A and B are shown apart, each in its own frame.
Chain A
Amino acid sequence: MRELIGSKWLVLLFRLVVGITFLYASLDKIAHPDQFAHIVYNYKILPGFFINIFAITLPWIELFCGLFLILGLFIESSSILLGLLLVSFTIALSVNFLKGIDIACGCFTTDPNAKKEGAWLLIRDLVLLLMSLQILFYNRDFLSLQKIFLKNRARL
């Protein structure tokens, strides 16, 4: 079991899953910063003056870390950063979940669909978080650019 969890193939698979997920998620946010800023506002957690700069920066962090994980560069730093983001998303979602705020409209609701959606988002974030931790702790540079760079450096 331990061997399976730490296997280089599983690390590679998780790197691709987490990397592609964040890369994909970042593109829409970069294309529509106004909509993303509105969603951040709906969470009612960040102070008003910080919302836009957060909405401008966050998608690029996701884009770079996603790309780095796929290419196999700065694997540890990228998985730590994405892990931290996932922890903060999970906290933000849970806080709003407990308060009963529907993130889609930023308002209170008893709509069962909104609850279901919130629960699904929580599960998704937790699964991605576990994958990031696995990538971090079993950091294997199997099929990665950083391995190629390290090899070249050793040769010099």
Chain B
Amino acid sequence: MSLKTDPSRIFLQVVLIVFFSLIIGVVYNSISKEGITVKGNWSKKVVSDSLIVPYSYTKDDPPAISLGQAMTYFQTHNTIFLDARLESDYKAGHIPRALNLPFEEFEQYYPKVEPLLSRDKNIITYCDGTECEASLFLARLLRTKGFGNLKIFFGGWTEWNKAGLPVQKSN
């Protein structure tokens, strides 16, 4: 049980393998159709003081709303909240009256949820918080289904719960 090769030689080989992988990776990436930018932008976008959105959010997406706006909509009753998290998370606690439409299992849940939705009402999607994108992806999917009054509450369950607002649990 011992190294046969001189450790400094191994170290050199390791550095060389990493170096060549870097060079070949960058070269291949630059000629590949699937190539990505070498320096990606993965930081969260800050729209305003109270609004942080995931990096993948673009200006063509449905509007993002803050916790304050979400609370206002919550009181109007002309609004349906859609919880994009998995059913187990939804059951453990969600915004009162929110319906569960997990983005990851959209096809399975959509037929059940669709009759409860209305195109005249505001639909606000949310998931766990600014770290998750299920709310964004769900809103994009719903837009393709013809829903127009969509909004995304990126603060999500985390912000709502932290603010001490009413919550509902399901069994």
> Which residue of A44, A51, A81, A108 contacts B14 across the interface (Cβ within 8 Å)?
A81
Chain B residues with Cβ below 8 Å from A97 are: none
Query: How near does chain B come to A78, taking the closest CB pair, in angstroms?
Result: 7
Main secondary structure of the interface of A (DSSP, over half): helix
Chain B residues with Cβ below 8 Å from A107 are: 85, 127-129, 131-134
Given A32-B34, A57-B25, A61-B21; A108-B128 close (CB under 8 Å): yes
> Which residue of B18, B29, B92 contacts A61 across the interface (Cβ within 8 Å)?
B18
Across the interface, do A78 and B37 meet the contact criterion of CB distance under 8 Å? no
Chain A residues with Cβ below 8 Å from B4 are: 76, 139
Query: Mask for B69-113, Cβ within 8 A of A = 1, else 0?
Result: 000000000000000011011001000000000001000000000
Across the interface, do B34 and A31 meet the contact criterion of CB distance under 8 Å? yes
A136 to B3, CA, bound (A): 7
Across the interface, do B128 and A77 meet the contact criterion of CB distance under 8 Å? no
Chain B residues with Cβ below 8 Å from A32 are: 34
Query: How near does chain B come to A68, taking the closest CB pair, in angstroms?
Result: 8
Q: Which of A31, A33, A68 has the most CB of B within 10 A?
A: A33
- Check A64 for interface membership: any CB of B closer than 8 A: yes
Given A76-B3, A77-B10, A105-B134; A48-B40 close (CB under 8 Å): yes
Q: Give me 17 other A-B pairs in contact (C-beta within 8 A), A34-B34, A77-B5, A109-B128 excluded.
A: A33-B29, A37-B36, A49-B39, A52-B36, A52-B40, A52-B42, A53-B38, A56-B38, A61-B21, A76-B4, A107-B127, A107-B128, A109-B85, A109-B88, A110-B88, A137-B1, A139-B4
